[in-house]
Chains A and B, each alone.
Chain A
Amino acid sequence: MNLFNWITENQQIIYIVILMIFVGIEVIGRVPSVLHTPLMSGANAIHGVVIIGAIIVMGRAEPGNYLALVLGFLAVIVGTLNVVGGFVVTDRMLEMFKRRKPKQ
């Protein structure tokens, strides 16, 4: 019955997971193929939230724990790379989508 206990204990999280799956599918359901790549890139930037985990690891690392310090630091760097790079590159792609005013 351990499994049931575990589900009960984590029901909030399980609810979030289930609902988010549907939201994720629903939200991009009707994307035109032109936007596939920018959308992929934007989503790529959003999963950069993993940076928060890296910050927590880094912030909690005890001074003597070199594994946590070094890897945490590296994780913060690559996580930021994902977030910042992701949003900037998406913006650059989309910059070119602005509707131009008709000429003449």
Chain B
Amino acid sequence: MNLLTCCYIIASVTFIIGLKMLSEPASARKGNLVAAAGMSVAVLGTIFLYRDDTGQQLGNYGWIFGGICIGGLIGTLAAKRVKMTAMPEMVSMFNGMGGLCAALIAVVEFDHFRRHAIIVTERTIASGMLIPLGWLIIILLGLIIGSVSFSGSMVAWGKLNGKIKDRSFKGQHLLNLLVLLAIVAEFVYLLFCFDPLLMGILFYIILVLALLYGVLFVLPIGGADMPVVISLLNSFTGVAAACGGFLYDNKVMLTGGILVGAAGTLLTVLMCRAMNRSLANVLIGSFAGGNAIAKGGEQEQGAIKEISISDAAVVMGYANRVLIVPGYGLAVAQAQHTCHELERLLEQQGVEVQYAIHPVAGRMPGHMNVLLAEADVPYDKLLEMEQANELFAQTDVVLVLGANDVVNPAAKTDPASPIYGMPVLEVEQSKTVIVNKRSMKPGYAGIDNALFSGPKTSMLFGDAKKVLQDLVTELKNS
């Protein structure tokens, strides 16, 4: 047992250090490995050194190793094969698995508890039955939080890969509240219920309601806000894991779980702040009713200018400074390598090229950095929003690649816009703006963008990769 305690202490420390390192760009990758190493120590230690209260070793090694092999294999394959653009939904899926794990543990432990309770009730009613009560509370918390996290993550996963559409209806929030109240009421009732059969029924009703609540909770939230939701559910799963730690008096589960619960909550708030919105605003979903308001901006709808590939190539070729604003369109088209090629060609012609990265461009914070880094774009070419906004006034050409909401001037000028107040890239301050989009369809938030009809803006319609390739060919030939 002593050696196991050491294993757990080591693991707890690696989690803290790992998380610390993960929050700094230079050490992030190592931090991940540190935490992974600690996790291995804790898992192996548990398998081989764990003794329960009676000094009994664990059994069923075949099952344990079988499960780990299957899970490890699927997990590795899934994580290795997933495309860059699909990583957030992968994270959501893994998070859901963690929640499911916590919920399953609760189900099994409740079963133990119930069998135990049948024998114990008569005696404990007299003695105040305190110990099982605390135990029951923890089991139920683990069950509820784990289930909500599981079903919520699955919906988030479905939304990110487009299988589930945003859906909200009148009274949605009321229904959510009712389900939540029902869960709480049953929770309380269950604590003072001594009939084993009724306890069992109530328990499974809570399970179903918690799963339902997870779905209802995530369903009305806009797809663009999924990273925030996943981060929130991530901290939920952390708390569910900590409940398991409480249950088994297992300090590493407790530290790991609470650590993630706290850090995840803060991270959720930070993500909201990056979009200049409050968490409540994200969760209640102002975007749901936003479409009606957004229509109001139509008076600005002027004529849209198109530009040809060769003209665009000339304009950029003779510029002093070009800033590229990448967005989701670039990620979808997998055009990051072509984009880098264009950047190098322009540099050879003496043009200074940099990238202006909006913190929430794409489908997750940091999406664009990761994408461009994959194409070997040097780190120092990526400007953060504040730096970029200072540079736009001295920029000749801004090339917007499949970004929309993050360059929408309505966020600054139109208080009726659902994205009003969100910091955006002020591309309209530059001399010329070239916008590449597949069509005039509005962006993720579903609102019009006055930038596209602005006097300095020209549109370059087409798939980002195709357009960039044409631009590269054009520049090479000139």
Contact = CB atoms under 8 A, between A and B. Distances in A.
Do these two chains interact? yes
Interface of A: 2, 5-6, 10, 13, 16-17, 20-25, 27-61, 65, 67-69, 71-100, 102-103
> Which residue of B57, B256, B366 has the most chain A CB atoms within 10 A of its CB atom?
B366
A73 B94 contact: no
Q: Which 5 A-B pairs have the closest CB atoms?
A: A59-B58, A80-B71, A24-B262, A76-B67, A85-B75
Interface of B: 11, 15-16, 18-20, 22-26, 28-29, 31-33, 35-36, 39, 42-43, 46-47, 50, 52, 56-61, 63-64, 66-68, 70-72, 74-76, 78-80, 82, 87-88, 90-91, 93-95, 97-98, 100-102, 104-105, 107-109, 111-112, 128, 130, 134, 227, 230-231, 234-235, 237-238, 240-242, 244-267, 270-271, 274, 357, 359-360, 364-367, 369-371, 373-374, 376, 378-380, 384
B78 A85 contact: yes
Nearest to A88: B79
Given A49-B257, A78-B104, 6 more contacts: A34-B384, A36-B231, A46-B35, A50-B237, A50-B240, A68-B108
B79 A50 contact: no
Contacts of B261: 21, 24, 47
Q: Chain B's interface: helix, strand, loop or mixed, by majority?
A: helix
B94 A49 contact: no
Contact of B22 (A35, A60, A88): A35
Contact of A77 (B71, B240, B274): B71
Contacts of B112: 68
Contacts of B25: 32, 34-35, 97
Contacts of A35: 22-25, 28, 366
A5 to B, nearest CB: 7
A53 B250 contact: yes
B90 A46 contact: no
Nearest to B58: A59
Of B15, B88, B230, B357, the most chain A CB neighbours within 10 A belong to B15
28 contacts: A13-B249, A27-B259, A30-B23, A31-B24, A35-B22, A35-B28, A36-B267, A36-B366, A40-B231, A41-B87, A46-B19, A47-B261, A52-B253, A53-B244, A59-B58, A71-B108, A73-B63, A79-B101, A81-B74, A81-B94, A83-B39, A85-B75, A86-B79, A89-B90, A90-B22, A93-B87, A96-B373, A96-B374
A36 B274 CA distance: 10
Contacts of A38: 22, 28, 32, 366
B36 A87 contact: yes
Contacts of B46: 52, 55-56
Given A25-B262, A42-B31, A46-B39, A60 B71 contact: no
A17 B234 CA distance: 17
A47 B130 contact: no
A25 to B, nearest CB: 5
B267 A39 contact: yes
B29 to A, nearest CB: 4
A67 B111 contact: yes
Contacts of A10: 134
A46 B260 contact: yes
A77 B70 contact: yes
Contacts of B97: 78-79, 81-82, 85
B67 A47 contact: no
A92 to B, nearest CB: 7
A83 B253 contact: no
A21 B16 CA distance: 11
